Structure 1
């Protein structure tokens, strides 16, 4: 795969003072060149400022993927960019990131985020004070992982200062330079390491011992990171590759206590649930629910991570009904216990939650059937019973429940006339 990404001239690449370059020519790369990007490139070229694709988009292109988001880096300062864009009549929007060097330009109905090259002057484990530079290597040096530290010129030239391309080829996830230093600059990088390990690494246990030692030593720093930032990383990690292994490793490295996971999380259950669900696009909370022994642990997790109401309710649902709701022993392939639950339930989005429960358990056949099942319409209303002479609200409610039970036993097949035949006015 890798050789097909390069032009003939670039297969070997070359190194200059630690810099590795090669030429990239792929359809995914060429497809990025819209009218908007071409116009943006012309502005920077006219003012003699370099413009390159940065970070994750470069990693994705080298992996044979078209990136969903493309960020750009430049030698121009924010003030220089504003001057260039104003002279060209280009609209600038959402420039809250200007203090950190980012200007967003809008061309041909597309937004382009362009950030000035930076170096960290001071960090506190959460935030960084930066100053601008024109040195591409210094900017690459401040990034977290080697595979995220590369740049790609608009002519297809790759600029790789820290063997990121080699690591990507070898499916290695390494910090740029000192793992401990990178982590102490921003403790969230511990979780980014796990997330990208799940995306890149071929085997679950191929970690550098020095990296794991640095993570264990600095794990306490996660306590100072906001729950929202932690949850963004964790929920991406648990639906990636090696999720069960990575969750187990987080317990081994004593990280769980800092990020809202229960102290006695059942890692063996997670391994089984991950095996059951991984091929069926589980929601992140479907995997994590295996860690929780009781609703109180879900509540504590929510206090720390501030997950959405939908995510919290799914966790509570799975913790409760993984024990209470079972398929029929007489008819193990029947959906009836689950369809009955849906028609009776006041749970919001109960069908979707039950699909997650079936993923959790590995009930593939029932899952496939439930995904296509639609809730039938109960054909009887209170008006029908009043017309038959039943006027008491209490009697109407009891009769409706009786008829609903009969209707369920018929497999939701009985029509209105058949059901009303059971009513004695």
Structure 2
């Protein structure tokens, strides 16, 4: 088949036309590779476009340098990747290759001119296709058919592909969430291969696992896929709590999925104690912001709930924010409301601006009150009075109550 969509045609900028012309002039093949092909066939314009070629890195460097094309960030050259910059665009081009030796994390590669061999070393059939610059699809493992049928399959043997890089276990789940229509339509043999190779995830860096896990949690079927991590005994190698609260996670996902929750908001439901957040951080090296959100949700998901006042059910949350000294507290409370499935209160909280307490210690000193302890006590009392007024009393009204006392 030949692809002729608007998304495909829109890729042909001055930069790409210039790069393509160089490869054609030097008689090297150049094709779009991997995820960009999958996206184009799915009717999406890819955010990133990678290219594959029959030219070796040395041949590409000579070709680009002779044409005056700038080369940048060529740290990937040992793996066959050269990045060229033309007309303010970067083009990442990788030589066709085969894996000579792998240890489940890294691979020693050998360059080739055989497109099918390069496709064979890729993880999933839907990621193993190439697209010629004339729109011709090159599909050696029925990836297009799988994409149309919403199937996620490994190229060839699932066990072999996984053993080449154990992170592919999580990539399978991530793409399942992007492609499959139904949550439970897995090939049993694929799941068995994943179970048998679960221990291999222990050798994968936490940072790589976290990238894939976050993408999986924010995709479709996230509750099903997280539960599957436990069923297949993967969680223990990923920093997730071995006895995670899967049922609460399913409930939170059901309530929050339409509210764009952060990954940690969903994952927090698995944690029964705050120390489990610490253990996740040790394994995956999550950001400080992600860790503090996880700790906040586990600590407050039960004790901070909507008020009984029909006219102001948001009040317990707003009072909490006013009293808190935590950084970015309002966004954390928004995530808590997502966790609790409080869609209406979330909308109110999103549009609510934190009011500024209008009285300071300086105001009290101007009134002749000099004791630091007394000032602190009065300020706290004024703050309570201000909260009871739903933050409506101004400075003069509040200070007038000091005179009365």
For Structure 1 versus Structure 2, the TM-score category normalised by the shorter chain is over 0.9
Aligned partners of 1:333 and 1:366 also within 8 Å: no
Q: Does 1:52 align with 2:34?
A: no
User: 1:210-289 residue pairs with structure 2 within 5 A?
Assistant: 210-289=189-268
With 286-295 and 24-33 compared, the bigger mean Cα shift is at 24-33
With 164-173 and 402-411 compared, the bigger mean Cα shift is at 402-411
Match of 1:152 among 116, 131, 137: 131
Q: Secondary structure at the match of 1:23?
A: coil
Q: Secondary structure at the match of 1:103?
A: strand
Match of 2:319 among 340, 345, 355: 340
Match of 1:131 among 102, 110, 118: 110
Q: Secondary structure at the match of 1:423?
A: helix
Provide the TM-score with structure 1 as the length reference: 0.94
User: 1:374-413 residue pairs with structure 2 within 5 A?
Assistant: 374-413=353-392
In structure 2, distance between residues paired with 1:398 and 1:48: 82
In structure 1, distance between residues paired with 2:305 and 2:151: 43
Q: Does 1:202 align with 2:181?
A: yes
Q: Secondary structure at the match of 2:391?
A: coil
In structure 2, distance between residues paired with 1:44 and 1:402: 76
Give 1:331 shift: 3.3
**Could you tell me which residue of structure 2 aligns to residue 24 of structure 1?**
3
**Could you tell me which residue of structure 2 aligns to residue 119 of structure 1?**
98
In structure 2, distance between residues paired with 1:404 and 1:178: 66
In structure 2, distance between residues paired with 1:333 and 1:168: 49
**Could you tell me which residue of structure 2 aligns to residue 12 of structure 1?**
none
Match of 1:86 among 45, 61, 65: 65
In structure 2, distance between residues paired with 1:284 and 1:171: 24
Q: CA RMSD in A?
A: 0.9
Q: Does 1:63 align with 2:37?
A: no
Aligned partners of 1:244 and 1:274 also within 8 Å: yes
Give 1:333 shift: 5.0
**Could you tell me which residue of structure 2 aligns to residue 312 of structure 1?**
291
Distance 1:66 1:333, change over 3 A: farther
Question: For structure 2, which runs of at least 5 residues remain unmatched after alignment?
Answer: none
Distance 1:333 1:388, change over 3 A: closer
**Could you tell me which residue of structure 2 aligns to residue 36 of structure 1?**
15
